[in-house]
Chains A and B, each alone.
Chain A
Amino acid sequence: MSLWFWLLLACVLAYAWKLVGYLVPARLLEDPRISRIAGTMTIGLLASLTVVNAAASGQALAADARLGALAAAAVALVLRAPFLVVVLAGAGTAALLRVMGWN
């Protein structure tokens, strides 16, 4: 139930962000630093989420099959594979490494 609360709050705030751009006069948001922070934070958050999902296990760092998935995804992206193919490469590699005994 508590997860529902945070989930719905996230939905409300996501819409609020979107709407703010339409309702707030442009000159209030004109500071290029605002747009820059939105961008650098996007990069920082996605980099962080990548690392956490690849190498964190609760409060510990772990080296397991997910690192293989990270490498496979990087190769797929260098080869300009579409999003879904990249995701499948990550899943397939992690699954394969586990079959081979690397957790």
Chain B
Amino acid sequence: MIEWSHALSQVRRACPDSLRRSAECTAARAGPGAADVKELLASPAVRVGLSISIATGLYGISFGALSVTSGLDFWQTMALSLLLFSGGSQFAFIGVVGGGGSGIAAMSAATLLGMRNGIYGMQLNALLRPEGWRKYVGAQVTIDESTATSTGQADPDEQRRGFWAAGIGIYVLWNLFTAVGALAGSGLGDPKQWGLDGAAVAAFLALLWPRLKGREPIAIAVVCAVATVLAVPFVPAGVPILVAAVVAALIGWFSHGRSDEGLEPDVEPYREHHGHRRHDSPVSGVDT
């Protein structure tokens, strides 16, 4: 437990500013009723959660548009956003299908990419201790951004508010904008003419980018990219991605380094609020 909360603080590197503000907020807490709403809107975690919801929700447009141009229909696209609900895995699924891969390869890539959500679930379970139905609902909205919003706070109440504000906010907006994108995308005609295959490339690079902090993750990315290129001519479409996953898993198993490597959110909730500090912070030398 102590080890995990230690790992958490490393994953999210809570800022002193947010600590101070949430402490003030807790001190200023009032009673139930109308004061609750006031308190909620005054909560830094809720504000961060709502702004991350808008930023993340908006790129549901690109998912929706790319999904229908990858060959999925409207309802398959919506099923991914409503049921699978994990940006990276959803993009992986349509990326494999769009590249001519089989359904089983798409499912495998999406599932392997979803493993980190299990780690987030464990962290959040230790942090928030949800009971009963909250566990099952909370699990569905356990993703990079809701975890990052929650663990970026120090006060337990703020951690809880941050998780639910970001989780529910993103879920609602992500699905809304997926539908918008899917409807817009299906009216586009030839997707290549609009460069939508280029959009998919950009989307994957943008998902990868925040995780490339330091030499080690870059080395892992390069090794896996090379493994992919080497595998492409020899195995069916979609399988090179699984080859890369195996290579990455072997690296993770046999090498020693940060245990939170690669567990960064696609959209960093505390970036705007703290002047890009995370980007300038040292990334190596954190050893658990």
Contacts and interface: CB of A to CB of B under 8 A. Distances in A.
Given A7-B80, A17-B117, A21-B119, A58 B100 contact: yes
A45 B112 contact: yes
A92 B121 CA distance: 38
A38 B263 contact: yes
A47 B111 contact: no
B55 A6 contact: no
Nearest to B93: A10
A74 B212 CA distance: 12
In the complex, which range does the number of interface residues on chain A fall in?
35 or more
Contacts, number: 359
Contact of A6 (B59, B103, B228): B103
Contact of B195 (A22, A34, A82, A90): A90
B120 interface: yes
Contacts of A4: 76
A86 B206 contact: yes
Contact of B193 (A13, A19, A46, A95): A95
A18 B163 CA distance: 14
Interface string A18-39: 1111111010011011111111
B194 A38 contact: no
Interface stretch (B28-36, B148-156, B251-259): B251-259
B136 A19 contact: yes
B124 interface: yes
Contact of B196 (A37, A58, A91): A91
B203 A87 contact: yes
B64 to A, nearest CB: 12
B201 A14 contact: no
Interface string A53-88: 111101111000110111011101100101110111
SS class of chain A's interface: helix, strand, loop or mixed? helix
B97 to A, nearest CB: 7
A42 B88 contact: yes
A45 B217 CA distance: 12
A101 interface: no
Interface stretch (B17-25, B38-46, B137-145, B168-176): B137-145
B180 interface: no
Interface in B240-275: 240-241, 243-245, 247-249, 251-253, 257-263, 266-267
Given A6-B106, A14-B85, A56-B232, A44 B251 contact: yes
Contacts of A10: 80, 84, 89, 93, 106-107, 110-111
B122 A38 contact: no
22 contacts: A3-B103, A5-B103, A14-B114, A17-B121, A22-B138, A22-B142, A32-B7, A40-B251, A42-B262, A42-B263, A45-B244, A46-B204, A48-B244, A53-B201, A73-B205, A80-B276, A82-B55, A83-B55, A86-B205, A86-B206, A91-B199, A92-B195
